[in-house]
Structure 1
Amino acid sequence: MLQLSEPSYGSAIAIGLAGWFTYQYYLFTVNKAKVANIPTVGGDGFISSYISAWKFVFNGHRIVQEGYEKYNGRAFKIPTLMTGDRWLIVVSGKQMIEEVRKAPEDKLSFKEVGFELIQTDYVFGSKAARVDPYHIEVVRGPMTRGFPSRFADIKDEIVESFTDHMPAKPDEWTRIAVSDALLPIVARTSNRLFVGLPLCRDSEFLRIQKNLTIHVVTIANIINIVPTFMKSITGKLLSNFPKEHRLMQKFLKETVQERMDAEDERGRKYEGRPNDMISWLLDLVPAELRNLEDISLRILSLNFAAIHTTSITMTNVLFDLAARQEYMAPLREEVEQVIGEYGWSKESMGKLRKMDSFMKESSRLGGLSGLVVNRKAVNDFTFSDGTTVPKGFRVAVAGQAIHEDKENYKSADAFDGFRFLELRDGGHEYDNLRHQMVTLDSSFLFFGHGRAACPGRFFAVNEVKAMMAYMLLNYDFKLPNDSTEVPAGFYIMGGRSPSMSAPILIRKRTSKIQ
């Protein structure tokens, strides 16, 4: 029998590593050649690109800004740690943004980049997420049309959840961690619309919704940087999603089965049918997907999209307002006047024009990501200036840099809470519509752009307005030590998050408006 000596084992390992290194170098060379005509920000050598890619993890916003300033209106590329093409192509300028917006799904795909960034095949443990994404149309259609009639329920949940998670006294200041309080408030309020009472207040149900987004994003980032042959095993070892999905099915089993049975017996429009997300999903679900497993997956997906982005937006607005007390009185006066006259409704939220402006300005500067309108080229795509994004490469727009460009906004680096109110009063109906927070525009990309823009933005904006209106009526709030400095957020992979631990001080106040 042939016996391998210790040097033989070492030689085998060395040969294996050399082979892997050679293969990686080959892939790097081939992919770099495909985008050689696009300038690079950072290192573009085999080793130097890895160093720049690691820098991008925590300094991505600065790297994108550097590229924007050097190549404004053109494309540039950034090395990333993602396996595969490794290069992210970033564009700016109204012409290129418009071309990305108009690009068909079979050229620049929103769906494919979503699957890739979240690594759904491996995180979810199946290809279920790739099946007909009908829930997006549910949000765009039935939910957007249906939530106004549920505004009384939404307001009720806001009252109850603030009482539970932001308790305060009228005669003293109470210190709270904003993110710890807002996350359950947003989760409860959103799920009052999604699944209703009593499930929207169930602590274990809410735990899944609050924790799963952070878990999925973390695992997806890990899977994105491991070699392809290790992605499946990494997902199986690290992802809790399959277990939490099974638990979600237990929570929803009785409700979903009752709804399907009622439809089978009495028709889809039976009297007393609940007006919530479960019903809206059942309205549009393809027949082959009409089952508990799929409906629960869609509820998880909608919570994934809604809870953390809304809570981040609300946190940014709270910090910006707490640091700028001069806006408190005019915003509170507007809320008292509008709610006093029109009550709690979507109509009244639409009349909170100062609030809308303040929220939009907070989102312009606070944002969610320096890179927006992400797409993946499923076929070669060539811009009008001749720049080609090869098949398999990702492309994104330099969102935060556009928001802070003085060509787009006067005194762009300064916070002006009523900037968009003044723009809306420009004298034309177009100005009034264009400068609302929910309106899509090439110079305000908080919700993305084009057909793939956030379909839930109408509900999200109204939800944040309602929560902010309730806070203004029922609380005084400020930063500790009367600070006027907004707590510093943090950046990762080009995205921004407000501080997760920074506190505010709150004090209960009495309002005539309820």
Structure 2
Amino acid sequence: MTTISSLPRTQRALKVANSNTFDLIPNAPIPAFDDNDTVLIRVVHVAINPVDGKSADLSPTPGATSGTDFAGIVVALQTDAHDNTDKSQSTLKIGDRVMGFVFGNNPQIRDNGAFAEYVAVSRRFLWCVPTHMSLEAAASLPVGIASVGLALHYLHISMQLLREEALKSVAAASKSRDRHGTFDHCDNVFVLVYGGGTSTGAIAIQVLKASGFTPIACCSLESAGRAKHLGAAATFDYQSATCGRDIREYTNDSLTYAIDCISESTSMSLCYEAIGSTGGRYVSLDPFPIRGCVRRSIVPAWICSYTQFGQPISWNPPYNLDERPGDVRAAAEWYSLAQKLLDAGLIEAPCLENRAGGLSSLREGINEYSKHGKAVLVPSVGVHTAMIMPESAMNWAMSQPDDTLSIIHAFSELNQTKYSLGNSRYWSDPWQLSLVKAHLSSILPSLIPQLNEELADALPKHLGTDTENWKEIELERTLRKVISQMLSRFIVGSGLCRDETYLGLAYKVILGMMTTIWATLPYPEFMRSITGPISSWHTQRNISRIQELLKPLYNERLSTLQNKGRSDGEQQPQDLLMMMMRFAQKKRPNELANLSIITRRVCAANFVAMHQSTIVATNIILNTLGSDAAFNTIAMLRDEITNVLGGTDSAGWSKERFSQMTKTDSVARESMRLNFPLGTRGSMRTVMKDGLQSPEGIRLQKGTTISWLASCAQVDADRFEEPHKFDPFRFSRPLKEGEGPKDAFVTTSPQYLPFGHGKHACPGRFMVDDMFKMILAHLLTHYDLAWPSEYQGKQPPSIWQAELSVPPPGARILVKRRKI
């Protein structure tokens, strides 16, 4: 082995901490480089790629080094390595300038990423930086060049043909200073590059031009000039209503290849429209929506450049990919050819924004899109591509009317009640939820004693009353039973809320609705019509059983309404079911007469209220117990409960007293800040009109789903000291000089999105706030808590399911009734 002397044993590295959050570690290990193929490189420059933030948001690997693109200097390699790679790669030596990219945020190899002082890479996946190019410029190219090579492979373009034509361009370039001159190519085959203004699109245009093809670009008017400078024969404005038709006319209906560097539903649709009538091939850089495959004569594919490394990608769907051996072989051919194009000056680096500060500045750079007025497109769970909007656009978006940006349309698509509940009306016309917003504040004072009554009944039933021996419970399952009973008191009243059969069926329906979401959302409508009814078959049976249990109560309430009140003067019930029936009598008489519809609206209300409340409550209690050793959390909360609520006597509990529980409120808000049970994105809206543009100049196409990245704002180091640490009393400590007022658990803002923001913020959060405080007060007053011995006094970490941060499955605690 040959090395530069005195290599350090540790390095500084930017590690993934959690969803879209990073920590700069000062003593991270140097990546391993002890095989004949691996080269150790001192990183000089890196480029921030959208995948760096996107992957850490959608599939974070805590402890993994982040970063993709780099350029640097070779500092260690094996001297006895022999291979058949291109000479420029096999004859690497200490001090050579190289560029490449690495699989950052890698669940399998956590100590190797570009955002570090050193990176280890196979010599097969390195390019020597040409003498005419700076390391700074070189760092912006690697993943783009690799992606273009894979895209050409998936377009089924012969690498041999590419090599022959590219070598002609290389020879011509060596005789001319005009790198974009006209070369004598053998064919005039059009290739559409959608997103010609992107970095990868710009590289694709140059490679295609040098390889004998005729690239045409679809881009903005602002990017058209540069695309033509790089070699595009023509450009087309993607916002033009006739864009696809114009491309087909320009190519005389002969276009057979399209590379989509934007990779959303609208870009796919335009590419499909532009490809000629005989069909062709389409390649995207992200998973494409299946329902976009509207022409059988077009073969679609999507690429992920990390597959060139010959290992599976163990990220969350849809990025969980098996090995692709063909990609490894294609990359081996492409790298040597790309080296010749680089050496000949036929690939030009994009325009760069330079940042000072080294590794310490990368966290801010990764979050740049959200915090400083830029938007990012990410693939959503469904068939649409979602746009992450910058924080600066929040107030503008929240002020838009519902027929411009629609929350109802966004959640109707997300929840798929068309199949799970048999009709989309339960979310497209969710009047059962509107009643909560209209009436909850007026009935909450009288509701608190009712919820307290159910809590006092449920906790001893599920936790026991033994004051001598510890009882082990599965926390989430236990809380689900407690919370279901409490919330059912509000939804259906005192009769059914303690009916174990009803509560069990209600939970089964919730699980069934979630199953249907996952069985339908990723697929186009024609497939949903098959998977939807199949996945919801058991759900429909369980809804019918709930309907039978509701029938006596429904008939009783219906009789009350028809008799215009109770003859004995007794006040009508104030639960949600009664509110629904009163509303339906006035506004939806056809629905009132249909018990099946009323039952399904009750199930929709259960879905919104019970499941997510259980996850949040579980996180709060886990975090309370987990922080107790460092912050004395339980004792501090017990003191507050005694001082504010009066100890064990819950008869006088009220909304006013709960509002004074600042420490308990802080624990709940801090738990919601660090955990994302409702997803890392908030305030979803669907764009309902064409031509919409934000004040930042972000153009929004009709049908796009927009949202905001809560995981950035809620762990922002500019706003929070030690942002990734659970500090139970962060929001309850006395104000420091110059500090603004602390926010409460229910307060929404562009920086705190668990309940959404604006006029459509969750109306039930005020009841949930009181319920969580009641649960903590009852639990800590009447029970001691501890970890099972196998946890060794440590809190089990949350896990990620797609974009949701949820408690670890089966997490357990010990409880014992206190002697009071």
TM-score by length of 1: 0.84
Q: Work out which of the residue numbers 259, 263, 266 in structure 2 matches 1:31.
A: 266
Q: Offset of 1:70 from its aligned partner?
A: 5.5
The amino acid of 2:660's aligned partner reads K
Q: 1:396 to 1:128 in 2, by over 3 A?
A: same
The residue aligned with 1:16 is none
Structure 1 residue 448 corresponds to structure 2 residue 756? yes
The residue aligned with 1:91 is 389
The residue aligned with 2:401 is 104
The residue aligned with 1:127 is 424
The amino acid of 2:673's aligned partner reads R
Q: Offset of 1:28 from its aligned partner?
A: 6.1
Q: Deviations over 1:273-321 (max 9, x none)?
A: 1121122222323233223233222211111011111111110111011
1:261 is paired with a residue of what secondary structure? helix
Q: Work out which of the residue numbers 806, 816, 819 in structure 2 matches 1:497.
A: 806
Structure 1 residue 379 corresponds to structure 2 residue 689? yes
Alignment of 1:335-350 (within 5 A): 335-340=641-646, 343-350=652-659
2:718 is paired with a residue of what secondary structure? coil
Structure 1: give runs of 5+ residues left out of the alignment: 1-21
- Provide the C-alpha distance between the structure 1 equivalents of 2:264 and 2:449, rounded to a whole number of angstroms: 59
CA contact (8 A) 1:478 1:504 kept: yes
% identical aligned pairs? 25
The residue aligned with 1:19 is none
Q: 1:31 to 1:335 in 2, by over 3 A?
A: same
Q: Offset of 1:33 from its aligned partner?
A: 6.7
Alignment of 1:475-486 (within 5 A): 475-481=783-789, 483-486=792-795
Structure 1 residue 272 corresponds to structure 2 residue 554? no
The residue aligned with 1:3 is none
Q: Work out which of the residue numbers 444, 468, 474 in structure 1 matches 2:782.
A: 474
CA contact (8 A) 1:490 1:497 kept: yes
- Provide the C-alpha distance between the structure 1 equivalents of 2:418 and 2:762, rounded to a whole number of angstroms: 22
Structure 1 residue 255 corresponds to structure 2 residue 553? yes
CA contact (8 A) 2:286 2:304 kept: yes
CA contact (8 A) 1:323 1:483 kept: no
- Provide the C-alpha distance between the structure 2 equivalents of 1:80 and 1:132, rounded to a whole number of angstroms: 24
Q: Offset of 1:129 from its aligned partner?
A: 1.7
The residue aligned with 2:179 is none
Structure 1 residue 156 corresponds to structure 2 residue 391? no
1:234 is paired with a residue of what secondary structure? helix
Q: Offset of 1:406 from its aligned partner?
A: 1.2
Q: Work out which of the residue numbers 394, 410, 414 in structure 2 matches 1:113.
A: 410
1:221 is paired with a residue of what secondary structure? helix
Q: 1:344 to 1:229 in 2, by over 3 A?
A: same
The amino acid of 1:497's aligned partner reads V
Q: Work out which of the residue numbers 346, 350, 354 in structure 1 matches 2:663.
A: 354
The residue aligned with 2:581 is 282
- Provide the C-alpha distance between the structure 2 equivalents of 1:347 and 1:55, rounded to a whole number of angstroms: 46
The amino acid of 2:748's aligned partner reads L
- Provide the C-alpha distance between the structure 2 equivalents of 1:54 and 1:98, rounded to a whole number of angstroms: 37
Structure 1 residue 333 corresponds to structure 2 residue 643? no
Richer in strand (by share): 2
The amino acid of 2:713's aligned partner reads I
The residue aligned with 1:370 is 680
Q: Deviations over 1:20-53 (max 9, x none)?
A: xx999999687227999xxxx9748841269999
- Provide the C-alpha distance between the structure 1 equivalents of 2:406 and 2:267, rounded to a whole number of angstroms: 22
- Provide the C-alpha distance between the structure 2 equivalents of 1:34 and 1:271, rounded to a whole number of angstroms: 61
Q: Deviations over 1:355-400 (max 9, x none)?
A: 0011100111113211111111122331111111211111111012
- Provide the C-alpha distance between the structure 2 equivalents of 1:29 and 1:226, rounded to a whole number of angstroms: 14
Q: 1:188 to 1:65 in 2, by over 3 A?
A: farther
The residue aligned with 1:68 is 367
The residue aligned with 1:6 is none
Q: Work out which of the residue numbers 732, 736, 759 in structure 2 matches 1:421.
A: 732
The amino acid of 1:323's aligned partner reads G
- Provide the C-alpha distance between the structure 2 equivalents of 1:306 and 1:65, rounded to a whole number of angstroms: 36
- Provide the C-alpha distance between the structure 2 equivalents of 1:442 and 1:23, rounded to a whole number of angstroms: 42
Q: 1:30 to 1:250 in 2, by over 3 A?
A: closer
Q: 1:287 to 1:71 in 2, by over 3 A?
A: closer
1:266 is paired with a residue of what secondary structure? coil
CA contact (8 A) 2:263 2:287 kept: no
Q: Deviations over 1:99-146 (max 9, x none)?
A: 222222112211111111111222222233256322122111223321
Q: Offset of 1:267 from its aligned partner?
A: 4.0
Q: Work out which of the residue numbers 607, 612, 617 in structure 2 matches 1:304.
A: 607
Aligned residues: 477
Q: Which has the larger radius of gyration?
A: 2
Q: 1:448 to 1:218 in 2, by over 3 A?
A: same
CA contact (8 A) 1:334 1:354 kept: yes
- Provide the C-alpha distance between the structure 2 equivalents of 1:375 and 1:29, rounded to a whole number of angstroms: 17
The residue aligned with 2:520 is 223
CA contact (8 A) 2:497 2:503 kept: yes
1:385 is paired with a residue of what secondary structure? coil
Q: 1:373 to 1:483 in 2, by over 3 A?
A: farther
Q: Offset of 1:410 from its aligned partner?
A: 2.5
- Provide the C-alpha distance between the structure 2 equivalents of 1:65 and 1:397, rounded to a whole number of angstroms: 17
The residue aligned with 2:597 is 294
- Provide the C-alpha distance between the structure 1 equivalents of 2:388 and 2:745, rounded to a whole number of angstroms: 24
1:367 is paired with a residue of what secondary structure? coil
The residue aligned with 1:79 is 379
CA contact (8 A) 2:666 2:731 kept: yes
CA contact (8 A) 2:409 2:428 kept: no
1:164 is paired with a residue of what secondary structure? helix
Q: Work out which of the residue numbers 460, 463, 481 in structure 2 matches 1:184.
A: 481
CA contact (8 A) 1:144 1:456 kept: no
Structure 1 residue 165 corresponds to structure 2 residue 462? yes
The residue aligned with 1:18 is none
TM-score by length of 2: 0.54
Q: Offset of 1:196 from its aligned partner?
A: 2.2
Q: Work out which of the residue numbers 378, 392, 411 in structure 1 matches 2:722.
A: 411
Richer in helix (by share): 1
Structure 2: give runs of 5+ residues left out of the alignment: 1-255, 272-283, 289-300, 308-312, 321-362
The amino acid of 1:376's aligned partner reads T
Q: 1:90 to 1:264 in 2, by over 3 A?
A: same
Q: Deviations over 1:174-207 (max 9, x none)?
A: 2111012111100001111222223111122111
Q: 1:388 to 1:154 in 2, by over 3 A?
A: same
CA contact (8 A) 2:506 2:546 kept: no
Q: Offset of 1:225 from its aligned partner?
A: 1.6
Q: Which has the higher contact order (CA 8 A, sep 6+)?
A: 1
